[in-house]
Amino acid sequence: MPEWINGLTLPPWLDEQWLFYPALCLPILIYWFLRRRAVEARSLARQRDARETGLDEPPSLHPVIDPVKCIGCGACAKACPEGDILGMIRGKAELVQPSHCIGHGACRAACPVGAITLVFGTERRGVELPHVGPDFQTNVPGIYIAGELGGMGLIRNAVEQGRQAVAEIARRLKSQGRRRDTEYDLAIIGGGPAGISASLAAKLAGLRFITLEQQTLGGTVAHYPRGKVVMTQPAELPGHGQMNFREVNKETLLAFWSDVIARAGLRIHHDERVDAVRASGSGFELSTSRRTISTATVLLAIGRRGTPRTLGVPGEELDKVVYRLIDPQQYAGRRVLVVGGGDSALEAAASLVEETDATVTLVYRGQAFQRAKRRNMDRVEAARAAGRLRVSMETDVERIDPDTVTLVAGDRRGTLANDDVIICAGGVLPSAFLRQIGIDVEVRYGT
């Protein structure tokens, strides 16, 4: 023991161990303090970068943290499967990369004090959503909504909502007495995760049902680029059991859906678009691209962006213009223009240069890429730095011709030799279709 301590007269209640423990804890406290400062510095840097690049608005469902309730434990940030969406600033959790948030809700579940609320839209940016009640029924009795259309875009949420919505429909039909003046008890519109889950639940419930999909199996997932990694969480599929994927590529997930459908003996009517839904007696009449269907109830399990957003420029009707990349290999050796600033555009451009010898140009009208994940921005930057990808910001497409495209950047105009155009400008919420049915569509500003 040091001599200076031997010379001290300590109170009887204080012996040598009371000096030892503080000395032992001090390095731990210093390490904790420095680590907390480093975490806060990283969070502030990400938040500042998001604001400077105009990426400070969440696209849809996102968390709002009550600073009074927040105890600064960081459980929410650790629980987020998307990475550094939440950060710790001044001892409280904050949304530091809002544009990357896709509404998992894992943060809310992880918060031990209930300081997190999930909301749609912000004070500055509203989000259009159809009116949906706790039982998934819209303001039109007998018409229900599940999945992405109602704001729940995650596969796990869509699967769960499809199952729950059909359970509510089955209860309603049982309480009212099953009608025999319609072909079906239920028409499910949409063949993505929510539609497949709903179809499995309807089969288990013994309902007379039909499932219609305007395109192919998988809904929105089917139109992801080849090899795209899909983030999901375990979910319970009616009649099948647990779906235990966490990170899976598009092809594996579609193969899984196909196997589930085959095993269950489901039939999904693909390439059959629903053009109109009309009230008929106490049920509904559906006009599709092939026929007319009568049903007691309707479940809308369609996406929010089923109709691609167009540019509205001359030549956009040419065959060489498409609105999604399916297989990069079909563009080998060709001159390709990719239009857009979100994940789909960046993934398309990066996949083309990584997998083919195509000559690729990526144009975007904004100053910064919007709602794009960091890994996709890194892929694009790496391809640009290697000279494999030309990137032109604050640039618009003015005209599309058979062998060229005309681009405008400020007061500059140029013509680019071109074989193919891939427009990834997002999709249009089917508000007109919903209002035609009579469903109320409201704009949410942080509620």
d(CA 260, CA 246): 18
**Domain boundaries, given as residue ranges, for the chain:** 17-125, 128-307+430-444, 310-425
Least confident of 68-72, 153-157, 180-184, 186-190: 153-157
Least confident of 29-33, 227-231, 336-340, 442-446: 227-231
Give the percent of the chain with pLDDT over 90.
40
Give the percent of the chain with pLDDT over 70.
85
Structure tokens at 11: 């109170």
Residue 310 per-residue DSSP state: P
Q: Residue 393's beta-bridge partner residues?
A: 364
Tell me which of 3.40.190.10, 3.30.43.10, 3.10.580.10, 3.50.50.60 is the CATH number of domain 310-425.
Answer: 3.50.50.60
At 233-282, the pLDDT tens digits run: 677 788 887 777 666 677 777 888 888 888 989 999 988 989 999 998 88
Q: In the chain, count H helices and then E strands.
A: 10, 27
CB-based contacts of 250, cutoff 8 Å, min separation 6: 221, 222, 224, 225, 226, 227, 228, 229, 230
Residue 65 per-residue DSSP state: E
The CATH architecture to which 128-307+430-444 belongs is 3-Layer(bba) Sandwich (3.50)
At 399-427, the pLDDT tens digits run: 999 999 999 998 999 999 999 999 998 77
pLDDT computed for residue 62 by the predictor: 84
SS3 108: helix
Cut 0.85: pTM above it? no
Q: In this predicted model, which residue has the larger pLDDT, 206 or 308?
A: 206
Average of per-residue pLDDT values in the chain? 84
Fold agreement between 17-125 and 128-307+430-444: no
**In the block, residue with structure tokens 């030892």:** 20
pLDDT computed for residue 130 by the predictor: 84
At 301-359, the pLDDT tens digits run: 987 765 678 899 999 999 999 988 878 899 999 999 999 998 889 999 999 999 999 99
pLDDT computed for residue 51 by the predictor: 75
At the topology level, CATH places domain 17-125 in Alpha-Beta Plaits (3.30.70)
pLDDT computed for residue 167 by the predictor: 95
Query: Which contacts (CB < 8 Å, 24+ apart) does range 324-329 have?
Result: 324/223, 324/225, 324/348, 324/422, 324/424, 325/225, 325/351, 325/352, 325/422, 325/424, 326/223, 326/225, 326/226, 327/226, 328/225, 328/226, 328/352, 328/354, 328/355, 328/356, 328/358, 329/355, 329/356
Structure tokens at 119: 């909301």
